[in-house]
Structure 1
Amino acid sequence: MKPTRTSKAWMREHVNDPFVKKAKLEGYRSRASYKLMEIDDRDKLLMPGMTVVDLGATPGGWSQVAKERLKGKGRIIAIDILPMDPLVGVDFLQGDFNDPVIRQKLMDSLPQPKVDLVLSDLAPNISGVALYDQARATELWVAALEFAVQSVKPNGQFLVKVFHGIDFEDFVRLMRAVFVTLQTRKPAASRDRSTEVYLLGKTLRENAQSALDRYLGAE
């Protein structure tokens, strides 16, 4: 297939991106590594001894950062629908996170007690139809949040990539209903033209599950 003008422009931007160049120089699998680094430098998410789940992990940039900052003490469980090259110290499950069978398999692989941190860089394949793409993205945010509510400790944390759009404010309200503290982050490695931001929820509210159930029941 002949490259389109848009794809050529994206490739030029990608090749010239300073974070892409930095990732290649420093041995990271993705420019997204620097997004997590910046957020962690500010919010101190990752500490040795933690159990971390990385949703939408491929190619593994966030898992790399988590591995480095856990310093060999703790556990990282990663999942993606796409394959990921092995990363020592990271347990990888390939499968569709939205598949109930795969989701249960992931839950069954978690250690007890529950995990400390869930990271979600999940994003749908873009069709170009804005409303459809937004709906698919929202479905993933809610699925990731549902998983976090079920899997993190009461004082656990959840970091999720979201996009501004028609469902954004509703999802922010849901996050506020689920977590005691909610913060918004836009790291430098997130391109200016991108509508993506990261929401960081800390400490589950006592009624977190009921708040989520009410939202799901209203959909």
Structure 2
Amino acid sequence: MTKQPISRSGKTSGRGQRDLKVRVKTAKGRKMSSKLWLERQLNDPYVVRARREGYRGRAAYKILELDDKYRFLVPGARVVDLGCAPGGWCQVAVARVNALGEKSGKSVGRVLGLDLQEVDPIAGAEIHQLDFLSEGADDLVKGWLGGPADVVMSDMAASASGHKGTDHIRIVALVEAAAQLAFDVLEPGGTFVAKVLAGGAENDMQTMLKKNFTKVVNVKPPASRSDSSEKFVVATCFHGRGIQAEAGEADDS
């Protein structure tokens, strides 16, 4: 039988019964909020796993878990990652769509990352510093991809204001803008994936997506922290701009 570690006082330490958590000492000038954030990072299994497996952040596991369930990052797919910094989602997409051509006999995909800031290069991905809201962004995206996209995904969040209601409205507006770009660049049958915050301002966005995609689901992957209000919308089987326009014309007649 395995013995428990014994302390100098003669009592068991309990280390065999539970994992020890890392505690951060309060340093001079460090705010309590910073101390708590650092402790959470050091004790987060996804953060530890990301370092071990070479991902640029724990967010990589969110798209991994979503793709495990809905299977949109398939070999040969052309993917656009909006707000791609620091690059974890691009890393996942490169491997799953076979952008490096490492899977023999599988189609080779393309991964295009866009962000307002510079992003360190990612093998197998093409990164551009671009505001996707700028005029002509859709044409640039299709030009870089060499055609329409199969997947548009976004883990973007608007700058926090500190006011929950305001932040929710901002991120919904950002997701709506990302969806509009998706409508312009997606191939019929394509997929749109984006982060949103749980709240009451996204009804119009959900309605818009349901008009343009066959199936729209909202899901919170295991990698999302339990205390976070974030969730992800996964919209699959895009109808296509032309098909939607024809449906609109039929409705008006």
TM-score bin, normalised by smaller chain: 0.7 to 0.9
TM-score, L = length of structure 2: 0.76
TM-score, L = length of structure 1: 0.87
Q: Are 1:126 and 2:152 counterparts?
A: no
RMSD across aligned C-alpha pairs, in angstroms? 2.1
Alignment of 1:1-219 (within 5 A): 2-71=29-98, 72=101, 73-100=108-135, 105-112=140-147, 114-205=148-239, 206-207=243-244
Distance in 2 (alpha carbons) for counterparts of 1:58 and 1:104: 22
- Percent sequence identity over matched residues? 36
Distance in 1 (alpha carbons) for counterparts of 2:40 and 2:181: 35
Deviations 1:109-151 (CA, angstroms, capped at 9, x unpaired)? 2322x11111111111112123332222122101110011111
Distance in 1 (alpha carbons) for counterparts of 2:184 and 2:246: 8
- Look up the equivalent residue of 1:8 and give its one-letter code: K
CA spacing shift, 1:32–1:202, aligned 2, 3 Å:
same
Deviations 1:17-58 (CA, angstroms, capped at 9, x unpaired)? 110000001111111111111111111111111110011111
Q: Which residue of 1 aligns with 2:15?
A: none
Which protein has the larger Cα radius of gyration, Structure 1 or Structure 2? 2
8 Å contact from structure 2 (residues 78, 111) kept in 1? yes
Q: Could you tell which deviates more after superposition, 28-37 or 132-141?
A: 132-141
Which one scores higher on RCO, CA 8 angstroms, separation ≥ 6?
1
In the alignment, structure 2 segments of 5+ residues that lack a partner are 1-28, 102-107, 249-253
Q: How many residues align?
A: 210
SS at match of 2:175: helix
Q: Could you tell which deviates more after superposition, 39-48 or 128-137?
A: 128-137
In the alignment, structure 1 segments of 5+ residues that lack a partner are 212-219
